[in-house]
Structure 1
Amino acid sequence: MIDTQTFTPAQTGRASEDVALQLEAAILSGKVLPGESLPSERELQTLFKTGRGVIREALRVLRQKGMVEVRKGAKGGTYVKHIDMSNVSESLALFLRQNKIDPQHVIAFRESMDRTLAALAIINASEDEKQALLDGTRALGELALSPDLDQHLLGEMDRELNIQFAKMSGNPVFEWVMGALQLGFSSQDYALYAHKKFREQTARNWQNTAQAIVDGDLLKCTALIGRHYLLLRECVETAHQQPSDVTELLGNTGQDTSASA
């Protein structure tokens, strides 16, 4: 149970903000752990020496940040949430989409990130992880060449390969960022799989990149990553020059999946 000595009376004039900040500090410092409940609204009013409206506004702010959740029933109340990778990734994905980030900026960012990921994967990933990535790209290539192409499955396989690639860095921050890009914000490279002209080249490039990681050949790997993004920029340019093909090129299937090198 949280130590009531943690809190001080809310400051006049900014009471709800002060209460929210004190509760947030208690959560981030571990004084209230994920899964534990905060004191009841009535108890919080007493602790902070303020009104019910101030407490409710402070709790609303914490809910908006994804730090707490309200549970109903016999054991209802306000509980501290465990902030996992999916929460972080979804929030970043929504931020990118809401702020209408130019896809070209995302493409440039992805290229620089993939180059760093390749170097880290060669150094940090186990041989089994590297082989698993190569096996996955081979399966992707087989599907890309299949006469019975399943566009949705192809996109899902590519998404999983990207996340797998990020995990191989050994740095969870890369995994979170990649997860955000894969969850909800397309850098338009899904179009590479939607268009036959680029699909086979992209799948083959993925496999060659994975093989370069297995071989520990960073120079070749970064060259292949550069090749991927040249294909992507050419694909996007084709879509802009042929407006009638934009829907097809952007894979208007409800998917926002991204591809990597």
Structure 2
Amino acid sequence: MSKKDPISLFHRAGHGRSSEDVALQIEAAILSGELSPGEGLPSERELQDIFGTSRGVVREALRALKEKGLLEIRKGAKGGAFVKQMEVARVSESLALFLKTNNFAPERLIEFRESMDRTVTVLAIARGSAEAKSALVDGAERLAGLAMAESPDMHALGELDRELNLQLVRLADNPIFEWVMGAVQSGFSSYDYALYEEPAYRAATVANWVETARSIAEGEPQKALSSIGHHYVLLRRCVRDLGPESLPANELLVEGDAGRYTTGPESQKAG
């Protein structure tokens, strides 16, 4: 079943919080690689014997690990508890939920996004393929075309802006940045983006997107970083000009790179 006999992986559970002890031992074996994704655990009866506990304790421990996303429970003749491959979407969703339920001031989120974007941009220039960079430029130019329409489709603008951010982070070829960016994008899902609501900010934002994409494609890190910095100057100015009283209740202005953010009590206090 595993690289080691289960008896050598685990020891009898302590008294008191037995289910927690069982769960911690199994979790440790998964995180250490002793139990691999797709690998099945011993049956509930075997786990009872190994840990010296009741079936109820074992089931409670397995249920807790399932809720954490570490195990999946399969039914049927070949069923049982199996180590689950951690999904990127689940990681991003958890971080998105954390961001949604904690009311961060706008400046804290903007500061975080700017520092991440600067690192991602440098990596994108160094690692991205010519084809992917060209696609980023094409997308930015398409964004500019949408923004210059007489009556811009705000939903389409928001979706394309979101996709451009994901394209950019994929150029960096680092899955951790991609997970975090995905969480930020889904965590502040809103299509009426602050920077696109006012014509002047909208024009400046899309022009800056095009400049950023072209600088990345041309391998010009200083120009690209200058454009990133300018984007956040626009964003901070936009937040200041709008003021918290102009934002929908319970939404925190967080960036989706030209994005509109959701603001909560802390951000309103920070105004």
Instruction: Quickly name the TM-score band, shorter chain normalised.
Output: 0.7 to 0.9
Are 1:4 and 2:23 counterparts? no
Name 1:55's counterpart in structure 2: 58
Gaps of 5+ in 1: none
Are 1:215 and 2:213 counterparts? no
* d(CA) in 2 for partners of 1:18, 1:31: 17
The two structures have a TM-score, normalised by structure 1, of 0.87
* d(CA) in 1 for partners of 2:45, 2:22: 14
Name 1:205's counterpart in structure 2: 208
* d(CA) in 2 for partners of 1:7, 1:225: 51
Q: Is the 8 A contact 2:158 2:191 kept in 1?
A: no
Between 202-211 and 13-22, the greater mean CA deviation after superposition: 13-22
Name 1:82's counterpart in structure 2: 85
Distance 1:75 1:200, change over 3 A: farther
Name 1:64's counterpart in structure 2: 67
* d(CA) in 2 for partners of 1:129, 1:87: 26
Name 2:96's counterpart in structure 1: 93
Residues 15-50 of structure 1 deviation map (CA, whole Å, 9 limit, x = unaligned): 222211211122223343323332332322122110
* d(CA) in 2 for partners of 1:186, 1:153: 13
Residues 80-114 of structure 1 deviation map (CA, whole Å, 9 limit, x = unaligned): 22112211111111112222222221101111111
Q: 1:258 aligns with which of 256, 259, 271?
A: 256
Distance 1:251 1:193, change over 3 A: farther
Distance 1:147 1:39, change over 3 A: farther
* d(CA) in 2 for partners of 1:66, 1:191: 35
Distance 1:187 1:100, change over 3 A: farther
1:52 to partner: Cα distance: 2.3
Identity %: 53
Name 2:149's counterpart in structure 1: 146
Distance 1:251 1:112, change over 3 A: closer
Residues 128-166 of structure 1 deviation map (CA, whole Å, 9 limit, x = unaligned): 121111111111111111235222222111111111111
Are 1:236 and 2:245 counterparts? no
* d(CA) in 2 for partners of 1:35, 1:104: 43
Are 1:34 and 2:32 counterparts? no
1:70 to partner: Cα distance: 2.9
Total equivalences in the alignment = 255
Name 1:125's counterpart in structure 2: 128
1:197 to partner: Cα distance: 2.9
Q: Is the 8 A contact 2:48 2:54 kept in 1?
A: yes
The two structures have a TM-score, normalised by structure 2, of 0.84
Gaps of 5+ in 2: 260-271
* d(CA) in 1 for partners of 2:217, 2:105: 34
Distance 1:195 1:56, change over 3 A: farther
* d(CA) in 1 for partners of 2:122, 2:192: 22
Between 218-227 and 34-43, the greater mean CA deviation after superposition: 34-43
Amino acid at match of 2:257: A
| SS of residue paired to 2:82 | strand
Amino acid at match of 1:144: A
Residue correspondence of structure 1 range 96-107 to structure 2 within 5 A: 96-107=99-110
